[in-house]
Each structure stands twice: as structure tokens, then as C-alpha cells.
Chain A
Amino acid sequence: SQQGEEDPQALSIQEGENATMNCSYKTSINNLQWYRQNSGRGLVHLILIRSNEREKHSGRLRVTLDTSKKSSSLLITASRAADTASYFCATDAGRGNKLVFGAGTILRVKS
């Protein structure tokens, strides 16, 4: 069963535009993480936000967390072609606090 579900499933934008991806989850969490996966590669950790945090920044990335709505969003500003990848949210709501991943959002940035 998937705890986190990303929305949209796919997103296509022009270089320079902002990209927003959303993640919804079902049960209480301690933290939520976002990962990026380039085609044919392993996942790379982007950012971790704890349940007592509302917003976190890392370079061009901005993550928000709304525990009352059980949702998070990842904003990538001034997107680049190199941002083309799949983006996954993961919550620590699995059995024994294991990470549970969503199905991901496929982002395509056109140059």
C-alpha cells in the first residue's frame, strides 16, 4: 500500500518556469522526505522536513508541510533542463517507521 501519493503524475514545463508537485499521505508522520530519480539511476535525497516544521528551503527547492491536511508540496523555482527527473515523496509511516514511497511525479523541463 502506498502512503504518499504525488500529484500530478506528470508535469511538462518550459525552462525558467516554476514546477510544483504535491504529496498527500494518510497517517501521522514524524518526517517527510523528497527524492529525485534521473532516468536509469538511483534515488537522490533532496530534502527532509520534520512534522514540526512548516517550510524548508534548499537552493532552488522549497518544501512545505501541512500536517493538518496531511500534505506536502515541492516547489522548484527557475527550472532547468537538468531538473528533468521523477520526484518521489516518502513518509516514515510504514511498519516500524520504515519509509513508504509514493508513485512519483515525472517532471519534464523543455529547453
Chain B
Amino acid sequence: NAGVTQTPKFQVLKTGQSMTLQCAQDMNHNSMYWYRQDPGMGLRLIYYSASEGTTDKGEVPNGYNVSRLNKREFSLRLESAAPSQTSVYFCASSEYGSRDTQYFGPGTRLTVL
């Protein structure tokens, strides 16, 4: 039982490049989330998926897209990376909804040059 896994762990991009961050959970959770964490700040919600087949914007969605591929997987795509997207990205899941306990992955540290 791996919980929430994320790939890659580290990534360096040049401005304008694209990439997809992968997230998978094996807890049969309905809801999944993408957050970013910047120094001195708490986590900010980028997108979430309340259930398979649904996605919705969070607090900071600009420059990102998501896909809930199936119940297990929720990916985050940066179409044209910008230096302002340099951050640590966390995926999380919860069984019933956002008020429920959330389980976090180990994070992806992304640097955009």
C-alpha cells in the first residue's frame, strides 16, 4: 500500500517548455488535489477533482491544466512553464471530500529557468 505517489521527484525546465506531473493513489479515494507550496507560504490549491470525471479550479489555476484519468490517477500539466511556476507541487487525496483528512504525496520540486 504505497499511498500517494508522485513522479518525478525533481524537474528543471526552461521557460516555455511543457511537462506533466503524475500522481496516483491506491487508497480508493474519491477526491484528489494538486497544491503548490512556496517559501514562507502555506499550500495553495491549484485544481481538485471531487470524483472521477470531474475537475474544478482552486485558488491558483492559471497556467495549469489537469486530467483525472481514472479513479487512481490525477495529472497536472504545465503547457508553457514560467519562472513564477518554480515551486514544490504536492498531490493529495481524500476519501470523501475536501473536509476529510487528506493524504499527501512526497512532492515534486520544479525549477523553471
Q: Which residues from chain A sit less than 8 Å from chain B, CB to CB? A: 1-2, 4, 30-31, 33, 40-45, 48, 88, 90, 92, 94-104
Contacts and interface: CB of A to CB of B under 8 A. Distances in A.
Given A88-B42, A96-B56, A98-B58, A42 B99 contact: no
A76 B59 CA distance: 31
Contacts of B42: 2, 4, 88, 90, 100-104
B16 interface: no
A43 B58 contact: no
26 contacts: A1-B59, A2-B42, A31-B99, A33-B101, A41-B106, A42-B104, A42-B106, A43-B90, A43-B92, A43-B102, A45-B103, A90-B42, A92-B98, A92-B99, A95-B59, A96-B56, A97-B98, A97-B99, A98-B48, A98-B58, A98-B59, A99-B98, A99-B99, A99-B102, A101-B43, A103-B40
B59 A94 contact: yes
Please list the 3 inter-chain residue pairs (A to B) with the smallest Cβ-Cβ separation, ordered nearest first. Answer: A101-B42, A42-B104, A101-B43
Nearest to A30: B99
Nearest to A50: B99
Contacts of A98: 45, 48, 58-59, 98
A27 B59 CA distance: 17
Nearest to B42: A101
A95 B102 CA distance: 17
Contact of B97 (A4, A95, A97): A97
Nearest to B9: A40
Interface string B72-113: 000000000000000000101000011101111111000000
Contacts of B48: 98
